Amino acid sequence: MTVSVGITGATGRMGREVIAAATGDDDCRVAFAVNRDPEDETVDGVEIESASEFDALLADRTPDVVIDFTGPESALEYASSCAEAGVAFVTGTTSIDDEGFDRLRAASEEVPVLFAPNFARGVQALVNVVGEAVSSLPGYDVELVETHHNGKRDAPSGTAKRLLAEIEANGEFTGRTHGREGEAPREAGEIGVHALRAGDITGEHEIVIAGNHEEVRLTHRAEDRGVFAAGAVDAAVWIAGRKAGWYDFADVIA
């Protein structure tokens, strides 16, 4: 079965990669692609339409799944439209707050919804192992450093938040310290979090676990945004036809 997808944020950094991944995947076809203010008429031969047409395109082209990489407000609006139209929703948009997640979960009562702050398989592997590393090294200092391109809006990254949740669930920590300046000695039990923004760096996450005259470093480095797009398209193909509910990228690659 070929899964038909609608793509939002189509002329953004990720949207372009999703179009390339979807058009290159035999299991997938692009039903439509929209952007808020379309700057290009086509991307990889796919017509870019105005986001104001989104609801009409959902009704007319009846995609199986919408793949969204936009911003937090628009992601939630698209999720609501998909819930009303009975279309599955896959989003990699980060910086969604708790209230936003409540709205996404409400949509998942009507249709399948999958959110992943990172669609790289290697990051899922990192999420899987970081908790084990932290719980094996009680009392060691833990710091997280994430590095992204200079156009990234949110900090720390959604992936960093996911990794921090995993770290906190597997050790005794007192809180997060975001950067340091001036007289700022390290307190026992804190988790240092550092966000670097420079150039066109796709995305790096490193967890440093140090103590007892030794250190462990766990690092993921995405070399190309195509890795995220391929994961999002895999998720769309996987989620099509499933029952309404809340799904995780770990389910896709299990």
Residues with a catalytic annotation lie at 148, 152
| Contact window for ligand NAD (CB under 6 A) among 114-122, 135-143, 206-214, 240-248 | 114-122
Both structure tokens of 198: 């420079």
CA distance 199 to 78: 30
Shortest Å distance, C-beta 80 to ligand NAD: 12
Regarding 176 and contact with ligand NAD (CB under 6 A), the answer is no
For ligand NAD, which residue of 33, 83, 116, 191 counts as binding (CB under 6 A)?
Answer: 116
Regarding 119 and contact with ligand NAD (CB under 6 A), the answer is yes
Regarding 100 and contact with ligand NAD (CB under 6 A), the answer is no
Neighbour tally for 12: CB within 10 Å = 16
Q: How far is CA 112 from CA 6, 90, 100, 144, in A?
A: 15, 8, 16, 32
Strand ranges, E, within the chain: 3-8, 28-35, 42-43, 46-50, 65-68, 88-91, 112-115, 141-148, 175-178, 190-197, 203-211, 214-222, 245-247
Shortest Å distance, C-beta 45 to ligand NAD: 18
| Contact window for ligand NAD (CB under 6 A) among 3-11, 24-32, 176-184, 211-219 | 3-11
Count of residues that bind ligand NAD according to CB under 6 A: 24
Q: Which residues sit at the interface with ligand NAD, rule CB under 6 A?
A: 8-9, 11-15, 34-36, 51, 69-71, 74, 92-95, 116-119, 228
